[in-house]
Structure formats: C-alpha cells, structure tokens
Structure 1
Amino acid sequence: MTSLARRLASANTLWIGLVLLGLIAVFGALRPDAVLTVFTLQTTLVETSVLLVLSVGMTYVIITSGIDLSVGSVLVFSGVTSAMTMNALNGGDATGAGWGTVLVGLAVALLSGAAWGLLNGLLVARAGIPPLIVTLGSFGAALGAGQLLSDGSNVSGVPDVLGEGLGTGTWFGVPNLVLLAAAVTAVGALVLGTTRFGRHTYAIGSNEEAARRAGIGVTGHLVRVYLLAGVLAGLAGFMALAYFRVASVTGHDTDNLNAIAGVVLGGTSLFGGVGSVVGTVLGVFIPAVLRKGFVIVGVNVYWQPIAVALVLVAAVWFDQSRRKARNQR
C-alpha cells in the first residue's frame, strides 16, 4: 500500500487531474447555477474538440523530444483546400451537396495535412534540421499557401449536410464533434500505450542514439510521427470547417501554442521520453476551464492567458525538478 501511494503521489496525471478538479470546484462554488450545468459542459467539450485532436498529434512529437509549430497553419491550409474542393464539386450550392462531396473534402483535408507532416518529418529526420526551425518555416509556408489559395479571404459555402451532420449534429445528445475527438483520443492513447509504435516513440525521446543501437529505425519512425501530427492537423481543420461552416485564414493564430501548452500542462516532458495522451486530455481542459470560468464569473478575459502562462511555467519547473531529483539518485 505504501508503494502504491508513492507511485500515485509521483504520477503527473494524478496531480494534473486534481488541479483540473480544483478549478472546476472553485468556479462551481462561485457560480453553481452557470458552471455546473449540462449546457456549460457540452459547450466546453465542443469548443475543445479541435484543439484536443491537434494536441494528440503534438503529444507524440514532443515525446520524441521534438516540436511542431506548424499545426495551426496546417489546420488553416487543410480547411481552405477542403472547402475549395467541396465548393468546386457542388458548384457553390451548399444545399445541394451530399455526403459524397463531404467525403472528398475530408480526403483532401487529410492529404493536405499529411503532405505538410511528411515534409516536416523528412526535413527533421533525413535532412537533420532542428524541428524548431523546420516547423517554424512550415508554419509560415502553410499559412501563406492557404492565404494565396483563398486570396486572403475566408472560404464559405460549406455543404449544409456537413455543418448539420458533424458541426452541430448530436448522437444520443452528445455532439458529434465531441464523439469524433474522443475516438481520435482513445485510439491515440491505445497506440501510444500498448503498441510497438508507442514504445519506439518513448525510446527515441529518452535516448535517440540508444534507440538506434537497439535496432529501432529512428529516421523512419520520426517521419511517421510528424506525418501523424500533420494528418491530425488536417482532420482538425476539417472539424473546424464543419463547426464554423467557413474556412478561416485568421482565426487560428495561436492554435499551435495552445496545443503545445496543453501537452506540457498534461505532463509530457519537453525533454522527451515522458508523457501520455490521458495527461494531454487533462492539460487541454485546464485552459478551457479557465477561459470558460473567467467568462462566467465576470473576470476580465485577458487574465486567462496570464493564468495559463503561470500554470505552464509551474508545470515545466516541476518537470525539471523531478528530472534533477531522479538523476541525483
């Protein structure tokens, strides 16, 4: 029992979960009539779905001790290409398009994200360019490409069936966007925690050279990790397109930073080798709860990024302290 208690006390996920529950308790005590409601829960889940899908891919990247600053721009690019493709197929008639058009749009979004993810992976793994530089470059390139294609304007005309089916549709009262994000998260957690792909991801993040000597194909694996992050960014772009019914070229400027913050708050180490998708889920909801809680209780919304920054710095400090303590044993 003592050993179990020690393991629980040292588990990042436990402490992150307690922080999240503490925030909910505080805001719930201040405004129980508005915070502790089904409507607030539902809207918070929907608003967080797109970011959660982005963060699942980011979790894999950061566990390998990498970084991907491009996911927000890839989301924009994928949404633009998907919307323009569906508009071309339906002749601009949003009401007449069917699910066939929507499936083509989904395929275009996923392929667009995959193309940028593959490019990032090849430049990082094969060319040996630092991930920060590679993804900073693709951050600007993907956003610029999306703006060029759309002539700097938002792309509307999304098929009604997409908006009503995925964007605002529900299944037994649960929003379809939330169900899709939950499915992606569950698969991401299962792959990371139980498969060889997940074990290799942890091994590369812990010690890349040791992983290579152990027979792991580090180069190919890193390419696949960045490819995964790109595909999920493309899916997130399609989900945002369904929800807002427009491909926005200006509304996702900080999505990359929000995804990184959620992953780090969830206990994934920036030094690599440590992290979980479950922790990422909790980490993503901390800023979401802060933002929603501040709005409900009437606190100036500009305090939200300050609060998130303080929690983020504290999380990184805790991670560094834990690593130093472990290395001194």
Structure 2
Amino acid sequence: MSAPSVPPKVQSEVDAGFAKRPLGARLVGANTFWIALVLLALCIVFTIAAPGEFASVFTFQTLLIETSVLLVLSVGMTFVIVTSGIDLSVGSVLIFAGMIGAKTMEALSPGGDSTAAGWDVISVGLLAAVVAGTVWGLINGFLIAVAKIPPLIVTLGTMGAALGAAYLLNDGSDARSVPTELNQTLGYGAWFGVPNLVIVAVVITLIGAWLLHTTKFGRYTFAVGSNAEAARRSGIAVTAHLLKVYLLTGFLAGIAGFMSLAYYASTTISAHTTDNLNAIAATVMGGTSLFGGIGSVLGTVIGVFIPAVLKKGFNITGVQDFWQMIAVGGVLIAAVWFDQRRRRLRNSR
C-alpha cells in the first residue's frame, strides 16, 4: 500500500495559510523559541553571577559530557511521547544493557577480568548491550501495540523487571571490570578537542532529528500521535509502527547503557534510577506534547540542557542542589501548562 497523503487542495490551503504568516510570527509561535529563550536567560544569569567560572570552555565541555547519555535516552523518548505514549523503563533498560555488556566482556576475558580486553571483546560487549536494550524495547512494543495494554502500566512493569534482572546478573552489585581501553577511548577520549562521548551523542541526535522530521517514519509517528484511529483509516499500520517506535527507544537505551559503562567504568546502578523521569522531563520541557502529535528533537536537546545548566550554575554559585530540583519542577509544570493552554486555544478555533 502506498503512503497516505494529504489531499492536494487541503495541502495547498495549509501551505498558503502558513506562508501568509510573517516569519517573526511563526518563530514566536514555536515552542522551541520560548524554551531556547529560557535556556539563554539561564546562561546569562549564571555568566553574570560567576563570569570567570561558568562562561568557560571547561564548564561547557563538562556540560556536554554530563548530558550525553541522557540526550541519547531523550531522543528515543521524544518518539514515544510524540505517539502520545510513555516509557518509564528506559532508565532500568539502560542499567540492564550496561550490565549485559559488562558481563559479556567479563565472560570473554581470561580469568573474568576484562580490564585489559581489546576492541574485539569490546565490540561484542557493545553488540550485547544494544541487543539487550532492543529486546526490552520489543517486549514493551508488543505488550503496548499488540496486547493493547496501556503504556504506563507496561513500562512501569518492565522498569522493575529490567532493574531486578540487572541486580540478579551480578548479585545485587555493580559490575566494575570494564576494559581500560573502552574507558580511555570512548569515556574520556577526544577527537580534535571534542569528547568522543559527545560526538556519539551528537551523531545519534542528528540521525534522530532526520528520522523524525524528514522521513516517512517521522510523518507516521506524528500521525499516530495526533489521531491513531485516523492514521489507521488512512492506511498507516499503527500497530507495526508503535512496535518500531518502542523498539527504537530500547535500542537507544542500549547504546546509552554502553556509553555510561564507558564513562564511569562501572554500571553505576544508583546513578541511573531516575534517568527515566529525567528523560521524560527533558522531552516535555523541550515542547513535546504529552498528548502526542507535537514535538521536536531540537526542543528535546534544549530541554536536556535546562536542568544541566541549572545544576552546574547552582554548584558554581554555591546554591544548594535542592533549589535545582525546585527550579526544574517549576519549569516542567510551566511547560505542561503552556502545552495545555495551546491545545485549548487550538481547539476553540
């Protein structure tokens, strides 16, 4: 079946209406514009408060490295939320994938010590981590798309199951036998001054943006989130598409798990228990609607950096971390309020 298309007459009217709007009006009306202003304002405030510390190459590099893993998770979350779904399991899947990668490299190393392992063992560990994450994505997708169980319930269940499985794999403790080569090259290595971890995150983000905004897969994602039944009647295989979206999210969680393993040289279970909520918060703060059908990867990037800038700025200026939690909560609530207000205005026309 050919891809469904918008009738030419309707499309021409939409294009004409959009073209009549001035560029400034279109820009100001975009969620991403306002979120970017919030991020810019935060950067200006902290630069004024601590000009010699916040506005530095070191701070900027640290921010990029610290947000790399969360950014990869949030790209996947953007696709899920655009379909009006949710995935509470990504943090646990990240931990499980990292554990599988670490245990695989241990198993392939003499004496179970993988610290001296080379890239042949590391490559197999990466493959194992990605497959592990993808399998959890497949489970989520099947239960949500095929079994028709609500995403909140499914991913709440798999969140606990994936975390429990990770604990079982290493008797409730972190795996710390990680190849030194992996830690030094991917975790702390750089290419022309740019950290390798950041390069990986940027490449994945660009691919995610291309996939969501320029391909048929992206158009179907928006269509399913806007109205699943209408998308189904127009010829879109909604069940298969949802399965692919959750599969993609699990795949990216697997990559994020291996990135974290490379950076920390450990599975660091306790450090990732709230990654699912952080990814959801970043995506929503970036302008992706919890009701589906609206969102952008660029907005998600900005949403990821808002809490990171707040945390870094508060640390530099000596403000307690508790204020960061309050500030992020306020921004998140404001983002959801703005989204609901926009929906009401659109529906009243």
**TM-score computed with the length of structure 2 as normaliser:** 0.93
Q: CA deviation at 1:96?
A: 2.8
Q: CA deviation at 1:100?
A: 0.6
The aligned counterpart of 2:118 is 98
Aligned ranges 1:273-292 → 2 under 5 Å: 273-292=293-312
1:81 aligns with 2:71: no
The aligned counterpart of 1:199 is 219
Aligned ranges 1:48-67 → 2 under 5 Å: 48-67=67-86
The aligned counterpart of 1:169 is 189
- Pick aligned residue for 1:151 from 147, 163, 171: 171
The aligned counterpart of 2:45 is 26
- Pick aligned residue for 1:293 from 313, 325, 340: 313
Letter in 2 for 1:52: L
SS at match of 1:311: helix
Question: Is the contact made by 1:79 and 1:109 (CA closer than 8 Å) also made in structure 2?
Answer: yes
Aligned-pair Cα RMSD in Å: 0.9
How many Å separate the matches in 1 of 2:325 and 2:251?
A: 28
Letter in 1 for 2:38: V
- Pick aligned residue for 1:211 from 214, 231, 234: 231
The aligned counterpart of 1:37 is 56
SS at match of 2:53: helix
SS at match of 2:206: helix
Aligned ranges 1:251-290 → 2 under 5 Å: 251-290=271-310
- Pick aligned residue for 1:239 from 256, 259, 275: 259
1:47 aligns with 2:66: yes
**TM-score computed with the length of structure 1 as normaliser:** 0.99
Question: Is the contact made by 2:115 and 2:177 (CA closer than 8 Å) also made in structure 1?
Answer: no
Question: Is the contact made by 1:152 and 1:249 (CA closer than 8 Å) also made in structure 2?
Answer: no
- Shifted more, 205-214 versus 95-104: the winner is 95-104
1:120 aligns with 2:169: no
Moved over 4 A (4+): none
Letter in 1 for 2:69: V
The aligned counterpart of 1:189 is 209
Larger Rg: 2
The aligned counterpart of 1:15 is 34
Question: Is the contact made by 2:287 and 2:296 (CA closer than 8 Å) also made in structure 1?
Answer: yes
Q: CA deviation at 1:2?
A: 6.1
SS at match of 1:68: coil
- Pick aligned residue for 1:141 from 136, 161, 168: 161
Letter in 1 for 2:210: L
Unaligned runs of 5+ in 1: none
Q: CA deviation at 1:79?
A: 0.5
How many Å separate the matches in 2 of 1:150 and 1:248?
A: 12
- Pick aligned residue for 2:331 from 305, 311, 316: 311
Q: CA deviation at 1:93?
A: 3.5
SS at match of 2:177: coil
Aligned length: 329
